[in-house]
Amino acid sequence: MSLAPRPDMSATLLAPDEPHPLETVNLEGGADFVLICEHAGRRIPAVLGDMGLSEEDRRRHIAWDVGARDIAIALSRILDAPLFMQRYSRLVCDCNRRTDVPSFMPVISELTEIPANNDISAAERQARIDEIYTPFHDAITAALDARDAAGKPTLLVTVHSFTPVFKGVSRPWQIGVLFNRDRDFAPQVARYIQNNTDYTVGINEPYAVSDESDYAMPVHGEARGYPCVEFEIRNDLTAGDEAVEAWAQLMAASVLHAKEAFSLSQRKAV
């Protein structure tokens, strides 16, 4: 493990041959759903070296949501929905956080110290915001603005994974369904999974969505008045093509059911 020398902030964070933070799939998808996977990748800009972490640590959940990318891509295919994914590790900057919270560039993640995030200068911090965080979210904003301008309905779905054990405490849930202000669409998603599987479903477990702890749902979903839901899949259950397909099929069925139920309730209200 070694830290690269502190970057020269007169240069850019990302080298010319390093990819844009945004990875997209099926942008022309015709569904009313838009998918986001903020922790899809674990890339680290070359200028940051290995961030002082072992290869094992850089493969762990602290660096990305294990399995989430594959499930999100499969879900995009099944729903015919556009998908927006973030390529760089959340240890560089967490694109599902506000920029003013400590977990945006964590000094400690779970119980692991992140050496490269100690004593970050204002210029280093701004470079990560300008070159990774802002381009990712600006692209999503532009796509949602275009949908709104065209009068196209949008339901927002975000895809994540979680660890079976956190700081020594086992987590019993196989899947979590997370929501905050949306009390119509997302609970229908949860009920569908509870009624049609034997899974232990976490309702706002193992996390809860809030304006302080999240970004995509509050900003891209709730602020626009979209029905929205966040999925959390336990990452020891995500390995292999069969598992990926099974999770994606279940998630697709649940959001399609919830969309229909939500549409019916809206029509009855009118």
Closest Cα partner for 159 from 239, 240, 39, 79? 39
**Residue 165 Ramachandran class (φ > 0 left, ψ -120 to 50 alpha, else beta):** beta
The torsion defined by the Cα of 232, 174, 192 and 183, in degrees rounded to 10, comes to: -40
Number of domains in the chain: 1
5 part of a folded domain: no
Contact 34, 138 (CB under 8 A): no
Does 41 have pLDDT greater than 80?
Answer: yes
In a domain, 180, yes or no: yes
Q: How buried is residue 38: exposed, middle or buried, by Cβ count under 10 Å (0-12/13-18/19+)?
A: buried
| 177-226 per-position pLDDT tens digit | 999 998 899 999 999 999 999 999 999 999 989 988 899 999 999 999 99
> Is residue 29 included in any domain, yes or no?
yes
Q: What is the pTM of this model?
A: 0.92
Question: Would you say residue 189 lies in a domain?
Answer: yes
Largest CA-CA distance found in the chain, in angstroms, rounded:
62
For residue 46, the tally of other CB atoms under 10 A from its CB is: 13
Residue 257 has pLDDT above 90, yes or no: yes
Q: Please name the residue that has the structure tokens 């749902």.
A: 217
pLDDT at 8 (0 to 100): 55
Which CATH number do you get for residue 247? 3.40.630.40
- Does residue 4 fall inside a structural domain? no
Give the residue numbers spanning the domain of 190. 22-269
